[in-house]
């Protein structure tokens, strides 16, 4: 089995990376960064997000494992003092895994070009200079006219991230779907929205058609694209979302129960 290591630049992550490499070499496992079977991330959820996008063309053959070297993350199951136990699990690996859905994004621009992205956590669209106005279509039917700060579209596993901070619901990661949450919507006689998060099923297509060409910012996980309509430059017309045919796979040596993680992160010592 070939092991890849993807770490952040913190001193602790560098220390753990060296220990892990030494243990991998000692046990005879192959260290391969280009075509690994398992990618071990060392850092936090942000590091795993970066690794996900780094290996996005190999998702069908890679399983991820996360070691957290700071605060407890939602994607990182192992602690920095458990290297020996993790390597033992790698040696005894039998291909076990757990997988979660991803989000396909297709952005259409004024010059006719289309760009495609895949999100593990979420995508957002905002206007950074004024209120964002867009038409929201569900399965090609106009649903509402949105006016507000922006919109957040998240996966089930991403529902505990930015989506939660803007009032979205937490989704069970075993469900297959995605979610739309509003950012400070304005409701009046002209613009009227549902005013609550919407959870879509596996076959739903969501499309956001922008009414203004200027100063939008679109994100896909941690990547941010500023779409300023300067003279001679293209601008964003619409973005569509649906559940991706691809999934992310985690090596299930010891995968922490999602709801226990939610409780530990947001509730603490409730009895």
Tell me the per-residue pLDDT of 217-247, one tens digit each, with 9 for 90 and over.
999 999 998 876 655 578 899 999 999 999 9
Q: Which long-range CB contacts under 8 A does 223-226 form with residues at least 24 apart? A: 223/53, 223/117, 226/128
Kindly state the percentage of the chain with pLDDT values over 70.
Answer: 96
Least confident of 4-13, 120-129, 187-196, 203-212: 187-196
Q: How far is CA 72 from the centre of its chain?
A: 17
Tell me the per-residue pLDDT of 61-107, one tens digit each, with 9 for 90 and over.
999 999 999 766 788 889 999 999 999 999 999 999 999 999 999 99
Mean of the pLDDT values across residues 14-34?
Answer: 95
This prediction's pTM = 0.92
pLDDT confidence of residue 82: 94
Cβ neighbourhood burial of 169 (10 Å; 0-12, 13-18, 19+): middle
Mean of the pLDDT values across residues 48-54?
Answer: 97
Top pLDDT among 170 and 191 is at 170
Q: Which domains does the chain have, with CATH numbers?
A: 2-96+252-267 (3.40.50.10330), 102-245 (2.60.200.30)
Top pLDDT among 190 and 23 is at 23
pLDDT confidence of residue 71: 67
Mean of the pLDDT values across residues 170-193?
Answer: 91
Q: In sequence order, which residues have a C-beta less than 8 Å from that of residue 36 and are 6 or more positions away?
A: 2, 3, 4, 55, 62
pLDDT band at 259 (very low <50, low <70, confident <90, very high): confident
Catalytic (active-site) positions: 45
pLDDT confidence of residue 134: 94
pLDDT confidence of residue 214: 80
Mean of the pLDDT values across residues 17-27?
Answer: 95
pLDDT confidence of residue 22: 95
pLDDT confidence of residue 213: 81
């Amino acid at each position: 089995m070939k092991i890849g290591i993807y770490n952040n630049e913190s001193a602790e992550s560098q220390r753990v990376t060296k220990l892990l490499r030494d243990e991998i070499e000692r046990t005879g496992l192959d260290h391969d960064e280009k075509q690994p079977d398992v990618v071990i991330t060392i850092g936090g959820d942000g590091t795993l997000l970066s690794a996900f996008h780094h290996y996005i063309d190999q998702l069908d053959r890679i399983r991820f494992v996360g070691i957290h070297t700071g605060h407890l993350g939602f994607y990182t199951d192992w602690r920095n003092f458990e290297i020996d136990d993790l390597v033992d699990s790698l040696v005894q690996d039998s291909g076990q895994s757990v997988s979660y859905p991803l989000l396909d994004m297709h952005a259409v621009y004024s010059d006719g070009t289309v760009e495609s992205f895949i999100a593990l956590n979420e995508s957002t669209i905002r206007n950074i200079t004024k209120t964002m106005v867009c038409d929201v279509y569900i399965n090609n039917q106009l649903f509402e006219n949105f006016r507000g700060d922006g919109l957040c579209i998240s996966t089930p596993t991403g529902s505990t991230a930015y989506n939660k901070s803007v009032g979205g619901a937490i989704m069970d990661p075993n469900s297959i779907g995605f979610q739309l949450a509003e950012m400070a919507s304005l409701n009046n006689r002209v613009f009227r929205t549902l005013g609550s998060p919407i959870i879509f099923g596996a076959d739903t297509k969501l499309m956001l058609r922008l009414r203004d060409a200027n100063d939008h910012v679109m994100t896909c996980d941690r990547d941010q694209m500023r779409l300023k309509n300067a003279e001679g430059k293209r601008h964003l017309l619409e973005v569509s979302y649906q559940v991706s045919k691809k999934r992310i796979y985690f090596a299930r040596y010891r995968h922490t129960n999602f709801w226990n993680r939610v409780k530990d992160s947001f509730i603490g010592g409730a009895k």
